[in-house]
Amino acid sequence: MPLIRIFLLLLLCLNCCTYSAIGQSEPIPESRIRKLVQQAWEDYKDANFEKSLINSRVALNYATSSKNDYLIAKSYKIIAGNYSELSEFDKAIFFYNKALFYANKTNNDSIKYSLHNNLGNLYCFEKQQFDKGINYYKKSIAYSLKINDISQVYFTNVNIAWAYFDIGKFDEGYPYLKFVGNNIKKYGDESTEIVVNMLNGMYSNFKNDNAAANTYFKNAIAAGKDSDERSDLAYAHLEYSKFLTKTKRYKEAYDNLILYNQITEELYNQEKLKKASIAGFNLELDEYKRQIDKIESEKSSQYQSLKKSRIIVVLFVLISFILLFLLITLIKNIRYKKKLNVELLEAKEIAEEASLLKTQFISTISHELRTPLYGVVGITNMLLEEHKELSRSQHLSSLKFSARYLLSLVNDILQINKIEENKVVLENLTFNISDEITMIKNSLSFLSQKNNNQITIEIDHQIPEYLIGDKLRLAQILMNLVSNALKFTKDGEVEIIVKLSKVEEKFHFLDFLIKDNGVGIAIVDQGKIFEKFVQVGRKDEDYQGTGLGLSIVKRLLVLFGSTISLQSNIGEGTSFSFTIPFEHDPQKTKHIIDEIEVDLSSDDVYKILIVEDNIINQLVTRKIIEKHNYVCNVVDDGFGALKILENEQFDLILMDINMPLMNGFETTKRIRLQGIKTPIVALTAFDKDEITEEAISSGINDIIIKPFEPVKLFKIINYLIKEAKNAG
């Protein structure tokens, strides 16, 4: 009994203290919270982001305490808007989703419309995730119709049409543009006049109605000159330039492209000034985010405190020592789970950061390896060309093979990274299957001779002469499988068999079989050979590669919509088989060939400027250029290029990107600002996908990745020079 009385006294004291603490917290009037939210909104519209974030954070704190879901959603919406204006788009999306979570707890469809529309804008035009953005737009329209706000439906339809047109889905976007056209007099205003005319121009261009397209684009540009929407005017010039290029009005196309670059440069400079003015404030943004997260945490703590108080009341009534003990145990478990959740979140953040660092590291290391490899491959080729007596040298052949193997390794690592990030898109090229496989056989002759193997080819005569598909990815698949077979076969045979399995309309389904009579693969190992960096049956003296080849093969076949099958037994050899459909269309094949055909027989002597800081790469590139009877000048950096262009004219400029003092992008921009129209080709070790967007915006005409095949370089050089001369 004395023990029970002590517990009763403790529980009574704790219960009184808890209710006393709750009673001391006075509720904040809703009118005051609304006033704070309105002030934060006014500060946001006046671009006073710091003050807006402070007021919205205080409003969020009060709204959370009052459990007012609508005001919580409004506060998060304003916070997200501030981050969006400060170009912190990931944080903006985070807080818009927070706002949407609380908005969905209310019956206010107006704020739901606004939040879905804003998320659509961010995903479509900032994150370039169009499918996700368009989905948000469509939900936004549903809420607008629910509140019968057709004017908002009008503006959202403009955004959806633009998003579809940006990704080339004109037929899907046209119904939304048609709705806009039917309602433009009733709901249109100056803010959409530029965009609506531009979209009509894009659609007319798509439909090959050149007269209508020309009129719409001119109307868009005229409206833009009388408007403050400079960004929309820039896009109107850009789309008009594309249309003019298509209709072979190159001079006007170039003029509009210049106007686009000028307006974009002005907006870019304004954005830089804006960012510079808030540079000090940006350091506080993360702290504000932590404070907002703290509000959520405090809300959870208050809820847990209230829950604990109720449990204490129940325990006070029941007076059970056993239940009190269980309560203490439960509280400890909750704290442990909270701690575990925090650790999991931290681990997730570390993993995401590690993934980003991995991508950056792979990009950097591939560039750093390609640059010296360009020199090694180039100088090796020069030695073989200038000293014919060395053509049979095993040392030089080994050097050339090793350099190309190292380049292949770099490309494999980059390839697997691109596939994992869904950056690989299949291309449509015309090719002859027999020629492609013969070329693969010849390129692997060194490896086949090393292990005294024979490569035999069997191709079904029913397969058409020319097919359409991604021949480069197919070659990569076959190269990996055949080279793998050669490595694990000695004094044997590797067979490449291709048969036509079926024809559906224009598509011919080809069955590929790569078969060897080598060491074979144990059944226990067959399930894991397609994983990254996995090698089976490896001995220290063996040369087995990195374990990436089969992993790349499997992932590339997924892109083709195919799978790979394996049959193997120890000592009996291995067979890999898969099926890929390729298109057969003679008219389309002729069109593709006509597009890529370039005349290399010209006797004209062109003058080329090489901008390159690496001395070895200067030597290699210069030798390749001068070997084809071109006149060549070399400068070490961007400043040297600008200086020589003041006094001399060139037919084409080969521009390195990664240079000290001033990189290739900045150099190109300055060249274009001086009115120099000379074609510029980026000659770089960077991966093409990483720099294409920035290269185009800076004024670069094309990109070639080092090391490269000289024939490809001269095709591009001749094409660009002749195009420039015809435009002039």
The domain spans of the chain are 374-420, 429-595, 598-727
The answer, yes or no, to whether residue 14 has pLDDT greater than 70, is no
Give the length of the chain: 728
Q: Which residue has the higher pLDDT, 363 or 231?
A: 231
Rounded to an integer, what distance in angstroms lies between the CA atom of residue 415 and that of residue 420?
A: 9
Report whether pLDDT(692) > 80.
Answer: yes
Q: Do domains 429-595 and 598-727 have the same CATH topology?
A: no
Task: Indicate the range of 75-84, 350-359, 538-547, 610-619 predicted with least confidence.
Answer: 538-547
- pLDDT tens-digit series, residues 422-465: 656 677 888 899 988 988 888 788 788 888 999 999 999 999 98
* Tokens at 588, concatenated: 């389309």
- In the sheet that holds 702-705, the strands lie side by side as 631-635, 607-611, 652-655, 680-684, 702-705
Helix intervals (H) in 387-513: 394-420, 433-443, 445-450, 471-487
Q: How many CA atoms lie within 13 A of 473 on its CB side?
A: 25
| Chain-centroid distance, C-alpha 512 | 32
- The closest of 210, 196, 125, 126 to 163, measured between CA atoms, is 125
3-state secondary structure of 249: coil
Q: Per-residue pLDDT tens for 130-145?
A: 888 888 888 888 888 8
CATH homologous superfamily of domain 598-727?
A: Response regulator (3.40.50.2300)
The dotted CATH code for 429-595 is 3.30.565.10
Does 499 score more than 90 pLDDT? Answer: yes
Helix (H) or strand (E) holding 578: strand 573-583
Task: Report residue 238: phi and psi, to 5°.
Answer: -65, -50
* Alpha carbon distance 411, 472 (integer Å): 13
DSSP 8-state code for residue 173: H
According to the model, what pLDDT value does residue 605 have? Answer: 79
What is the predicted pLDDT for the residue at 366?
60
Q: List the one residue out of 630, 515, 627 whose CA is nearest residue 565.
A: 515
pLDDT tens column, 542-599? 444 445 668 788 888 888 889 999 998 888 899 999 999 999 888 887 777 666 544 4
